[in-house]
């Protein structure tokens, strides 16, 4: 059963009561919320995700509700709780959906140590994965969203989840966060792009989430082999430029963007080293989105050494 099979009334009932249990990649996540914005956002952005019946068991529990103090009467706010922890300050109610996504990011980044987690957008084509490890503001999500509508499967916009036993990348397709001008850019990029409402975040940036395509969500169990590492950098006015990266530097970059590789000790290091053994790495500087996509196509179509 997918979330789209639930009526809005049933969805709200679950969110207010025992919790909505959704399959998000390898995780079963319980979501609780009395806030209608959260229900509407989930209904749109997670429409293709599987949901489970019953109330028992979940890897994470994410709760987005008004704070319990008098603050709720002063200004409409929401508070995030993750298995009882409150990692963030309360935020305006208009940011409820953003808070839910931040809560899921926090949970995966801080609790999912069965995987080696790297902050990277991850896509797949022909069984091989493209990793885009980069900090916020680098254009990672915009490029990722554009590639998803040019034949790439979305594994994740936030995490490369590496199985430490096999080195495979585990999909966790979720909504892609787009900011500022990227929202209109993607709206014009493809008629298949489905976007949630644009809201202001706590840094006064406009944020809208793009729904992951149904094919990507349906393929949540299909893993991918590392194929390429590309570090994108959006530079206004820059001509597209791809600069190969040495393997030691690629390894340092992946480690620097990893939340937990060192918790896996030597095995975590060896796994990252083996990833850069197999996946050639480069830096991409670009300004126009079309140029970025063309550069990715060119890099990933080059013959690969055996």
**Is 51 strand, coil or helix?**
strand
Residue 276 to residue 273: CA distance in whole angstroms: 5
**Secondary structure percentages of the chain, helix, strand, coil, to 5:** 35, 30, 35
| Minimum distance from residue 96 beta carbon to other proteins (Å) | 37
Does residue 128 interact with other proteins by CB under 8 A? no
Question: Which lies closer to other proteins via its Cβ, residue 175 or residue 227?
Answer: 227
Q: Which residues contact 160 (CB under 8 A, 6 or more apart)?
A: 117, 118, 120, 122, 129, 131, 133, 169
140-154 CB burial, b ≥16 within 10 A, e <16: bbbbbbbbbbeebbb
Does residue 246 interact with other proteins by CB under 8 A? yes
The answer to whether residues 78 and 66 touch, using CB atoms and an 8 Å cutoff, is: yes
Binders in 266-295 for other proteins, by CB under 8 A = 266, 269-270, 273, 277
Which among 77-85, 147-155, 213-221, 265-273 is the span making contact with other proteins, rule CB under 8 A?
A: 265-273
CA angle 264, 109, 76 (to 5 degrees): 160
| Minimum distance from residue 268 beta carbon to other proteins (Å) | 9
Does residue 262 interact with other proteins by CB under 8 A? yes
Near other proteins by CB under 8 A: residue from 248, 290, 301, 304: 248
Contacts with other proteins: how many residues (CB under 8 A)? 15
Does residue 263 interact with other proteins by CB under 8 A? yes
**Is 34 strand, coil or helix?**
coil
Does residue 247 interact with other proteins by CB under 8 A? yes
Near other proteins by CB under 8 A: residue from 40, 59, 249, 278: 249
Q: Write each residue from 202 to 241 as x if it is in contact with other proteins (CB under 8 A), else as -, in one continuous string.
A: ----------------------------------------
Does residue 251 interact with other proteins by CB under 8 A? yes
Helix runs in the chain, H state only: 8-16, 36-45, 71-74, 96-111, 140-148, 181-189, 214-218, 247-256, 265-278, 289-301
Question: Which lies closer to other proteins via its Cβ, residue 212 or residue 280?
Answer: 280
Does residue 255 interact with other proteins by CB under 8 A? yes
| Minimum distance from residue 258 beta carbon to other proteins (Å) | 9
The answer to whether residues 116 and 272 touch, using CB atoms and an 8 Å cutoff, is: yes
Binding region for other proteins (CB under 8 A)? 246-249, 251-252, 255, 262-263, 265-266, 269-270, 273, 277
């Amino acid at each position: 059963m997918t979330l789209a099979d639930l009526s809005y009334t049933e969805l709200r009932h679950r969110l207010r009561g025992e919790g909505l249990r959704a399959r998000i990649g390898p995780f079963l996540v319980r979501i609780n919320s009395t806030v209608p914005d959260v229900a509407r956002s989930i209904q749109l952005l997670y429409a293709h995700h599987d949901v489970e019946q019953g109330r028992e068991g979940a890897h994470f529990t994410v709760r987005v509700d008004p704070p319990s103090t008098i603050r709720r009467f002063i200004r409409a706010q929401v508070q995030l709780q993750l298995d009882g922890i409150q990692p963030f300050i309360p935020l305006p109610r208009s940011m409820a959906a953003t808070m839910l996504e931040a809560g899921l990011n926090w949970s995966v980044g801080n609790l999912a140590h069965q995987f080696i987690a790297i902050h990277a957008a991850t896509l797949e084509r022909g069984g091989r994965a493209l990793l885009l490890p980069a900090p916020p503001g680098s254009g990672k999500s915009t490029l990722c969203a554009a590639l998803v509508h040019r034949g790439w499967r979305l594994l994740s916009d936030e995490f490369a989840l590496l199985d430490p036993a096999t080195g495979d990348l585990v999909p966790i397709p979720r909504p892609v966060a787009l900011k500022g001008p990227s929202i209109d850019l993607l709206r014009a990029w493809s008629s298949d792009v489905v976007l949630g409402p644009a809201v202001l975040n706590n840094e006064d940036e406009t944020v809208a989430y793009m729904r992951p395509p149904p094919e990507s969500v349906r393929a949540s169990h299909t893993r991918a082999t590392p194929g390429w590492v590309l570090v994108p950098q959006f530079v206004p006015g820059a001509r597209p430029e791809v600069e190969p990266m040495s393997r030691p530097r690629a390894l340092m970059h992946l480690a620097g963007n990893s939340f937990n590789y060192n918790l896996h000790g030597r095995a975590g290091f060896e796994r990252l080293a083996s990833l850069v053994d197999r996946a050639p790495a480069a830096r991409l500087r670009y300004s126009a989105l079309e140029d970025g996509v063309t550069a990715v196509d060119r890099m990933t179509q080059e013959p690969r050494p055996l």
